[in-house]
């Protein structure tokens, strides 16, 4: 599964057991080589089962087995985006691409290429998604007590409509409808 920029619902039928691994942005490429990652954005694709943990062994010792499995495969990419991603996340998505280029001594073209290759999305998409994730959390916790306009401003949006467009894109509905529903109890990892 690649970077998810839109909400998704999975329906499981019958008796199911699910085990998920969520990598930090860019972390997947430290353990797996699928080139380029931008083909996987918002998509679920089958993988070679030998490249992923054995489900039967996960049931016996989940954390220990998965840690060992991935430590044996650890191979950082030549140009890691860990520090660039941290710069965006520390600022909750309120950062300009030109600043990232300057702070991390890279070029616009190299940054764009590495983001597509390692995260599957562009730097702008990652910045927008990071800002949205922050706004989502604020709305989920304070949506009933603060105005959406104040939240929009605090989260780096130009106005309420700008934030509403982000909610529509990522959640399929505007923040006002989201605040009034039970789905506002959902949190993003």
| pLDDT per residue as tens digits for the range 118-153 | 888 999 999 999 999 999 999 988 867 888 999 999
Do 42 and 87 meet the contact criterion of CB atoms below 8 Å apart?
Answer: no
Band (pLDDT 50/70/90 cuts) for residue 2 is low
Least confident interval from 86-95, 100-109, 146-155: 146-155
Instruction: Identify the CA nearest to 65 among candidates 16, 2, 34, 21.
Output: 21
pLDDT at residue 45 greater than cutoff 50: yes
Q: Contacts from 158-167 at CB under 8 Å and sequence distance 24+?
A: 163/135, 166/128, 166/131, 166/132, 166/135, 167/132, 167/135, 167/136, 167/139
CA distance 134 to 156: 10
Answering whether pTM is above 0.75, one says: no
Residue 189's pLDDT band (cuts 50, 70, 90)? very low
Is pLDDT larger for residue 52 or for residue 154? 154
Q: Answer yes or no: are the C-beta atoms of 83 and 104 closer than 8 Å.
A: yes
CATH topology for the 124-185 domain: Arc Repressor Mutant, subunit A (1.10.10)
Confidence category of residue 155, pLDDT binned at 50, 70, 90 = very high
- Average pLDDT in the chain: 83
Whether residue 75 contacts residue 27, with contact meaning beta carbons closer than 8 Å, is answered with no
**For the chain, which residues make up each domain, given as ranges?**
24-120, 124-185
Rg from Cα positions in the chain: 18
């Amino acid at each position: 599964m690649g970077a998810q920029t839109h909400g998704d619902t999975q329906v499981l039928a019958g008796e199911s057991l699910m085990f998920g691994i969520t990598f930090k942005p860019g972390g997947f490429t430290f353990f797996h080589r699928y080139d380029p990652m931008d083909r996987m954005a918002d998509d679920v694709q089958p993988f070679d089962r030998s490249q992923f943990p054995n489900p039967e062994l996960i049931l016996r010792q989940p954390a220990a087995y998965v840690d060992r499995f991935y430590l044996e495969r650890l191979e950082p990419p030549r140009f890691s985006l860990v520090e660039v991603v941290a710069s965006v996340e520390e600022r909750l998505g309120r950062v300009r691409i030109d600043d990232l280029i300057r702070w991390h001594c890279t070029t616009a073209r190299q940054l764009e290429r590495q983001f597509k290759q390692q995260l599957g999305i562009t730097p702008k998409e990652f910045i927008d998604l990071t800002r949205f994730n922050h706004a989502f959390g604020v709305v989920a916790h304070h949506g009933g007590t603060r105005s959406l306009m104040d939240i929009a401003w605090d989260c780096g949006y130009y106005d309420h409509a700008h934030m509403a467009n982000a909610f529509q894109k990522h959640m399929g509905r505007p923040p006002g409808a989201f605040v009034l529903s039970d789905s506002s109890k959902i949190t993003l990892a």
